[in-house]
Chain A
């Protein structure tokens, strides 16, 4: 392995260690705080699902913003690593979205009495989930990594650009929302703010942990493809 390769490898290894440590510490503190948080007087113990659900939403949005950002940088600079960043973010975003779409209805059934409501935020989140599932399908249906990267970048940017439009469109159609408003300083009971805050920090740590590992898988695959192509070319000559 040359010097450059060894430097890249040690940087990756350091990133693994840092994100793993961050993950363990943040998740441990989050779990402790959520476990010891007071039971909500109205909703009961089911309210604790929100300590998982809201941070999942943060991870979902983070994933999709990074996908569009990676796509835009790929189209601008043409560097493959930005495409890997976009793809990794989309996969992690979809993972978070699935967990959010599972945890939300469980809480909804216990609190609203029904699994789903065609509410503004629920509908928008569901559409966003479909956009990014379509993003992943588009990649898997497109032959050629460069073409797949280009198409996906355009679709990822279009998906994010249309979120505000979708927001206003659904608001116009639905009118009112039964989803709780965004968390504010006075919207939580005593002792509930910290578990929420730590949950969000922990989800960012989980996101970073998964992203570093997924990026490494992506670069290893790219390296393998490059070596195979090289071996094929040498075999032919």
Chain B
């Protein structure tokens, strides 16, 4: 367990010192809010509520893809990635440490982007803030687990920025749909649809298992 904390702490500390990934994700998410506002300006209150869940998750996914592309990229400096791969620890723990650090960054980005969306589209998220944070967390777990696996692959390819979204987006659909349905249910009716929650939980479980097992084969010296 201490190894896992060490790995997690290493990533968070590195990020805290440079803050480049978090800042890039935040600025990008806010830019997507602005671009989406001009692409789909809010009309009636009902119409805005209808579109916000989908737009919010599109912004999240774009920012996550951007952030995760650097997750292993920063390990290339000074051959840190080789050191990580050669470390005498279970690769599953390395995966959990990396995915955990990514999750923390994504959760911060999600919170800031949600506030920006609420202001830009004039939607009151206050009454459902807690369940909405739960949905964002479940969505982020799925996205970060599979994203971390693909990021480890992408870093060893010749076109890493191009390949990561191509690998991630087709397989992210279950998380996206579950999260959008759950967010829509919360914003429109104030209730969390059970089917969406079920889908998110099952998806997270499958993504975590697939990524945990697959990571063994993708981390190169």
The answer to whether A155 and B202 touch across the interface, beta carbons within 8 angstroms, is no
Interchain residue pairs with CB less than 8 A apart (30):
A130-B170, A134-B163, A134-B166, A134-B167, A138-B166, A141-B163, A142-B153, A142-B157, A142-B158, A143-B158, A154-B153, A154-B217, A154-B218, A155-B167, A157-B214, A158-B210, A159-B170, A159-B171, A161-B206, A162-B174, A162-B206, A162-B210, A165-B199, A165-B202, A166-B171, A168-B199, A169-B203, A172-B177, A173-B177, A173-B181
Residues from chain A with a CB closer than 8 A to the CB of B146 are 158
A-side interface residues, number (CB < 8 Å)? 30
Number of interchain pairs (Cβ within 8 Å): 93
Q: How big is the B interface, by class?
A: 20 to 34
Interfacial residues of chain B within 143-198, with CB under 8 A of chain A in the complex: 146, 149-150, 153, 156-159, 162-163, 166-167, 169-171, 173-174, 177-178, 180-181, 195-196
Alpha-carbon separation in the docked complex, A75 to B215 (Å): 12
Of chain A, the residue at the smallest CB distance from B150 is A155
Alpha-carbon separation in the docked complex, A159 to B207 (Å): 11
CB-based closest 5 A-B pairs: A169-B174, A141-B157, A130-B170, A154-B214, A169-B177
Alpha-carbon separation in the docked complex, A162 to B156 (Å): 24
Q: Tell me which of B157, B171, B180, B199 contacts A138 (CB under 8 A).
A: B157
Known: A153-B217, A169-B178. A142 touches B156 (CB 8 A): yes
The answer to whether A154 and B206 touch across the interface, beta carbons within 8 angstroms, is no
- CB A105 to nearest CB in B, in angstroms, measures 19
Instruction: Please classify the interface of chain A as helix (H, G, I), strand (E, B), loop, or mixed, using the class held by over half of its residues.
Output: helix
Known: A147-B156, A155-B153, A158-B210. A137 touches B163 (CB 8 A): yes
Residues from chain B with a CB closer than 8 A to the CB of A138 are 153, 157, 163, 166-167
The answer to whether A141 and B174 touch across the interface, beta carbons within 8 angstroms, is no
Alpha-carbon separation in the docked complex, A151 to B206 (Å): 19
Cβ-based interface call for B15 (8 A): no
Q: Tell me which of A133, A141, A161, A166 contacts B159 (CB under 8 A).
A: A141
Instruction: Please classify the interface of chain B as helix (H, G, I), strand (E, B), loop, or mixed, using the class held by over half of its residues.
Output: helix
Q: Tell me which of B158, B169, B171 contacts A141 (CB under 8 A).
A: B158
With A154-B218, A159-B171 already in contact, 18 other A-B pairs whose C-beta atoms are closer than 8 Å: A127-B170, A138-B157, A138-B166, A142-B153, A142-B156, A143-B156, A150-B217, A153-B217, A158-B146, A158-B171, A158-B210, A161-B210, A162-B174, A162-B206, A165-B206, A166-B174, A170-B173, A172-B195
Of chain A, the residue at the smallest CB distance from B146 is A158
Cβ-based interface call for A131 (8 A): yes
Alpha-carbon separation in the docked complex, A155 to B158 (Å): 17
Contact with B along A192-204 (1 / 0, CB 8 A): 0000000000000
Cβ-based interface call for B220 (8 A): yes
Alpha-carbon separation in the docked complex, A130 to B173 (Å): 12
The answer to whether A154 and B149 touch across the interface, beta carbons within 8 angstroms, is yes
Alpha-carbon separation in the docked complex, A76 to B195 (Å): 36
Of chain A, the residue at the smallest CB distance from B168 is A134
Alpha-carbon separation in the docked complex, A150 to B216 (Å): 10
Of chain A, the residue at the smallest CB distance from B153 is A151
